[in-house]
Every structure is written in C-alpha cells, then in structure tokens.
Chain A
Amino acid sequence: MRDFLTVFFSLDKIVVVSKALLLVLAGLLVARLLSRGLQRLLENRLDRQRVVLMRRITYYSVLSLFFVAGLHQFGFNLGVLLGAAGVLSVALGFASQTSASNLISGLFLIGEQPFAIGDVVQIGSTTGEVLGIDLLSVKLRTFDNRFVRIPNETVIKTEVATLTKFPIRRIDVQIGVAYKEDLDSVREVLCQVADENLMCLDEPKPLFLFQGFGDSALNIQFSVWVSRENFLELKSAIQLDIKRALDEAEIEIPFPHRTLYAGSATRPLPVEIVSSAGEARVI
C-alpha cells in the first residue's frame, strides 16, 4: 500500500497532473477573455445573434485546445483519441440524426437570418417574441407568456412570418352591408372613419375593395395602414369605430337571412299572435 502511494504520489506524477490542471485552468481563463474581447469587438458590427454565436464558438474552441493539451500531458496519444473520436462520431451520427439535422438547420437559419432576437414571429400556429436562436432550436415567448422551444428543423420546414420586419402593417377589415345600401355612401363613411382615427396612416391610403355578392350581404374589404407599434390597438379600435359609424349612418350590417317558401302546394304556416296580457291566438 505504501509502495502504491509512493508511486502514485511520486513527484513526476504530481508535476504532470499539476501541469494538466494548470493548462485547463489557463484554458478557461484565456477562453473567457478571448470570447469577451471578441464580443466587445463585434458588438457594433454584427447583430446580437451572430455575436453570441461567435462568442460561444471561440469559447469552446479555445477551451477544447487547452483540454486536449492537458490530456497530452497525461500521456494520451491524440492520434488514437482522434481515431476513436472518428468511430464514435459515426456511431453518434446514426444515433443523433435529429440533432444533426437541427444543427445544420440552425446554421442555415443563422446564415439566412429571416428574423433576429426581439422580432415577433409566427411559426406554424405559434406567435411570439424571439428570445434566442441557438444551434438546435429557436426559443419564443408567446404573448400569454409561455416559453416555447421550436426545433430548427421545424422552423426550416414551416412557413415563418416575421411580423416586425417592416415598420408599417395593413389591417384588413371584412364588412358586409345590406343589399339595399348605397356603396358610395358606405365608402364615404368608412373613409371618414379612417380619416378621423389618428393612428390610421394618411399614406398609404385606405383601401376599399368590393369583394362580391354574398348570401346575405354585399361583401367589402376595408384596409387601413398603421405603424407596427399601434397595430393591435388599431385592429380593435377601427372595428369599433366602423360599427359606430355605420350605426350612425343607419347602414345595415345584415346577419344571414333565410326565406321560408311554403309554396302553393303546401299549407300556410300557422302564426301565433301573443297579446300583452299573454293570451295566445292562433290564426
């Protein structure tokens, strides 16, 4: 036992272990300093997402180099290690196809940049603010405050809408008015509503689009433009304003009508008249 301890704690071994530990510690320090320095250097030149990615790549590359140097101190043969890593990577590749696919999709996403951190996006049926774009997934905060992780492979395959890409957006309001109404008057009322609402942009001009003859109504699309900050507020406000204005102008917004035709071959429909006293009389 004593011999074993003597061999184990021989001066040479202690020196080797200390060197390896020192290398790893130095690696941690250098990796941190280098990645932070790089972050400061790139902060004003690249977007946040790319800066974060560059920082991580630098940190882990430098750390890996020092770690490998540390292993070398222990007497590990790096050639054998790399060979084993090659075999292992093939095995891992088969086992982690999904992760690899996400990783490659992530690289495409970062290169293509359809959105950035802070943007509001709609991916499939999920809408939210982008918190992070990592190598494996995109992290979103939905507006009901849920944290949603979407794999990069899904993002690449799905239709993605970036809602905050451009400074202005259009709100389309679908309206139906009764067949008896004069469409010129309707257009005038709607344009007046847009004119009076200060959030509606003066240019591009509101769009009045006759969509066709519906079952119960003349279908119209009225579109107004708004700055993206006011989008949600105006989306609700403009519809309330339109309802109020159409009511004031006595323009009817019809609900679906059904006409029952009894025909000459059928018997007349029975009608019940109820008096205020509650007495019913069937005609």
Chain B
Amino acid sequence: MMAGMKRNVWWGEYELEIGDSGHWEIGSLGLWMEREASEWKMAYSWNDDEDPELWTYRRNESFPDAGVQGERFAVQRTGGTVKLRAVTADRSVVARPRTPFRVPSGHQTRILVSSPLWVEIAVGPEPAYLRELPAKRLSETWFGSTTRDGELAYALKTNARTRLEDLPMRPYRFVTPIVIENEGPDTLFVERLNLPVPHLSIFGAGEALWSEEVRMLRSEVGDVAELDVRSGPPQEAKKAALLSEPRLAFEKGHLFRAFSSLLRL
C-alpha cells in the first residue's frame, strides 16, 4: 500500500488497536510497531543500499523475528496512537559536493542541500517519547584541521544544486537553502561544507520538507564563517508548517568552522 490510508505524508498520528501492528518504510529505515495491552513492541532495520522515492505504511504485517533490532516498552496501559515526527540529525552534517566549486571574493551563491532526517517515535494519547531513528544511516566523519581539534559529524555527498527543479525530492530528506557569501580577500574553494543541522527546524510543505535558510558569511582568509539562520520557512515554501523545533538553541553571529579544511594527520 503506497503512502496508504489516504495519507500523503508519513509524519503524524496512526491509530493501532490492541494486537495490531504497523510497518513503515521511510528511506532505508524499516520500522515495525505492535501494540499489546500493556507494552509496545518495536523492531527496526535499515536497508542501506536502497534510496526509495516513496514511503509505505502497512497494517498487520507479520512482525519480523530475525535480522532486526527489537525493543519493548512497558507501560501500565497502552493508548492507541503512534506518533511519528520528522527531526534533524543529532550532529552536524558535512556535505561534500560531488563537484567542488569556487566562490570568488566579493560574490555569493545560494545552493540547496538535501539531508536525511531522523524519525522520532512517540506513543499516546499522553505523548510518551520512545526513541528516534535515522531514516538513512550516514557514515561518521571528522571535521577539523587536525585530529585533535574538530568535531564528529555525519558525512553526506551532495550535488549542491542551485535550482529547485534539479533537486530530487525524497520523503525522508529535508532541503536547506544555504547562502554562501565570500567577503574574504581570496577565492573560497568549497570542497566540504559543515551544515549545523541540530540548529535547524523542520517545516512541512505538502510532501516536501524544508529547514530555514542558512547564511554563511566568510569575511577573512580561512575556513571560519559567521552563521545566521533566517527564522521561518524559506522562500520556496513560505506557507510550510513547523514540524519540529531545533535541537540546539542558535546564537546569532556564531562563528564556526564552515568550509573544508586541510586535515593534518
């Protein structure tokens, strides 16, 4: 059943009777939830080779016995609601353009980067948070100039498109418009880009997911930029509704290492 139960979007609430189970496929994540009188059973697995364009939801599909990670959540009495929410990854994402590009001094560019999101699972009616899972697992990476100084992040390959029409929309990804302003004295070579997604909100516009527009202002030689997150949905999705708040508070004018840096081993 594709995008079944007359739903266009995977996030939101699902009703399950006692003894019923639900199975979702969102990105490469397979999620199973089964409701019993006083416990919720959860199972999940990832098929990392797949990059599906659609999401699916099926009721009462047999609960997997093997090949998945399983968990049980014991409560006094289960309510009938499963609530899925789209949230950002818990660490920054380092986007590596498949074709690196340069921004000459005194110029700016606006690119679109699409990053996988995480699925937060809660049950109701009184919301009880269970856990969150990445819709697509990303490899870890290190972003810093040395192996001592830097931060752990997720690695993402991106096409860094400049036109929305060229960007394939996926139900498990959200798009971040990034404006890179190079006011430094030299040309900026963008080989890797540090996108601090925990500072971003997620907005839903129909089936598409967006975050705020991010501005990175580079005013000196080096990899450091001043970060600014423009509040509200971007111009491409002005009427989008807020789905989730940022994980971390954002400080305006925050300086951070934004661009590729030479790693010294």
Interface pick from A76-84, A114-122, A196-204? A196-204
Interface size on B, residues (CB 8 A): 19
User: A204 is contacted by which of B137, B138, B152, B263 (Cβ under 8 Å)?
Assistant: B263
Give CA–CA (A198, B134) in the complex, Å: 13
In contact, B142 and A198 (Cβ under 8 angstroms):
no
In contact, B155 and A203 (Cβ under 8 angstroms):
yes
In contact, B152 and A166 (Cβ under 8 angstroms):
no
Chain B contacts of A195 at CB under 8 A? 139
Q: Give the interface centre of B142, B151, B155, B192 by most chain A CB atoms within 10 Å.
A: B142
In contact, A201 and B138 (Cβ under 8 angstroms):
no
For residue A225, CB closer than 8 A to chain B, the reply is yes
User: A201 is contacted by which of B96, B141, B148 (Cβ under 8 Å)?
Assistant: B141
In contact, B142 and A225 (Cβ under 8 angstroms):
yes
Give CA–CA (A121, B147) in the complex, Å: 19
For residue A58, CB closer than 8 A to chain B, the reply is no
For residue B265, CB closer than 8 A to chain A, the reply is yes
Chain B contacts of A167 at CB under 8 A? 142, 150-152
Contact with B along A167-188 (1 / 0, CB 8 A): 1100000000000000000000
Shortest CB-to-CB span from B14 to chain A, Å, is 29
In contact, B137 and A203 (Cβ under 8 angstroms):
no
Give CA–CA (A167, B151) in the complex, Å: 8
Q: Give the interface centre of A167, A200, A230 by most chain B CB atoms within 10 Å.
A: A167
Closest partner residue, chain B, to A198 (CB atom): B139
For residue A227, CB closer than 8 A to chain B, the reply is yes
For residue B143, CB closer than 8 A to chain A, the reply is yes
In contact, A202 and B155 (Cβ under 8 angstroms):
yes
Give CA–CA (A166, B152) in the complex, Å: 11
Closest partner residue, chain B, to A167 (CB atom): B152
Give CA–CA (A118, B147) in the complex, Å: 21
Give CA–CA (A166, B142) in the complex, Å: 12
Shortest CB-to-CB span from A99 to chain B, Å, is 37
In contact, A168 and B152 (Cβ under 8 angstroms):
yes
Q: Which residues of A contact B (CB under 8 A)?
A: 166-168, 195, 198-204, 225-227, 230
**13 cross-chain CB contacts under 8 A:** A167-B150, A168-B152, A198-B48, A198-B139, A201-B140, A201-B141, A201-B142, A202-B96, A202-B155, A203-B94, A204-B147, A227-B152, A230-B140
Q: Which residues of B contact A (CB under 8 A)?
A: 48, 94, 96, 137-143, 147-148, 150-152, 155, 192, 263, 265
